[in-house]
Homo-oligomer: A and B are copies of this chain.
Amino acid sequence: MVAQHPRPSARVGRPRALGPSESQLSPRDEVLAAAAELFTENGYAATTTRAVAERAGLRQASMYHYFARKEDILATLLESTVEPSLQLATALLARSEADPAARLWALAAADAALLHRGLYNLGALYQLPEVRGERFAGFRGARAELRAAYGELLHLIAPDEPGRELRCDLLLGLVEGGVAVVRDRGRGNGDGDGAGGGYGTAEVGAAVADAVLRLAGCDRAAREAAALAGRELA
């Protein structure tokens, strides 16, 4: 989702039937962006390869130059969505000198903001039944690691509370589900553009992080301190 093509003109290969691309994205990234929008808008199974390709400015079959199967597109998108959060989680776990509550705040805020920001609400796809397939083992593994990081921080904050696994699940559900509801209601009957809700991405991140700390059992003073310190950790 990052690399750009070196030369806008002077392109190798047969020209596109629909004219050259407007965007600065590489063709592969154009496909990913188109798929992200359509998958989250209409669902994965309901989105045809033709729709994806044509939104990317290509003919249906040309997409297969970049992805061997439709599943590969979804897998790539999902992996690219967890990965930044997982990397941040790993970094935060290592900073054992910092307040665990501040670290949990930073992780939750960044994770929620990431899910809220995108053009596309990929978080809503996390629990898609399709994602149970073999092809998505990589994504599921990364998400499990992210969950474990949340669990670790939660344990540092509240080591004695029972039902640790269950509370960790609820915490993850709060982050992913909460953002999904916020986005979804924001979109409402509105006109599909932008990250939903009338809420700013940072606002949602902060609200989710605060809610996460409430689940973790922090009182108001602890939450306010964690928010202040957490902003420094990002």
Instruction: Spell out A's residues near B (CB within 8 Å).
Output: 40-46, 124, 127-130, 163, 166-167, 169-170, 172-182, 184-185, 197, 199, 203-204, 207-208, 211, 214-215, 217, 219
Q: Is the CB of A178 within 8 A of B182?
A: no
Count of chain copies? 2
Main secondary structure of the interface of A (DSSP, over half): helix
| B130, B169, B219: the one within 8 Å of A43 (CB) | B130
| B163, B178, B203: the one within 8 Å of A177 (CB) | B178
- Tell me how far the C-beta of A215 lies from the nearest C-beta in chain B, rounded to whole angstroms: 5
Q: Is the CB of B46 within 8 A of A199?
A: no
Q: Is the CB of B129 within 8 A of A41?
A: yes
Q: Is the CB of A46 within 8 A of B180?
A: no
Specify the chain B residue showing the minimal Cβ separation from A41.
Answer: B129
Q: Is the CB of B176 within 8 A of A211?
A: no
**Docked CA distance A176–B178 (Å):** 9
**Docked CA distance A211–B127 (Å):** 21
Q: Which residues of B contact A199 (CB under 8 A)?
A: 166
| B129, B167, B179, B215: the one within 8 Å of A215 (CB) | B215
| B128, B170, B179, B182: the one within 8 Å of A182 (CB) | B170
- Tell me how far the C-beta of A38 lies from the nearest C-beta in chain B, rounded to whole angstroms: 9
Q: Is the CB of A167 within 8 A of B46?
A: no
Q: Which residues of B contact A166 (CB under 8 A)?
A: 182, 197, 199, 203-204, 207
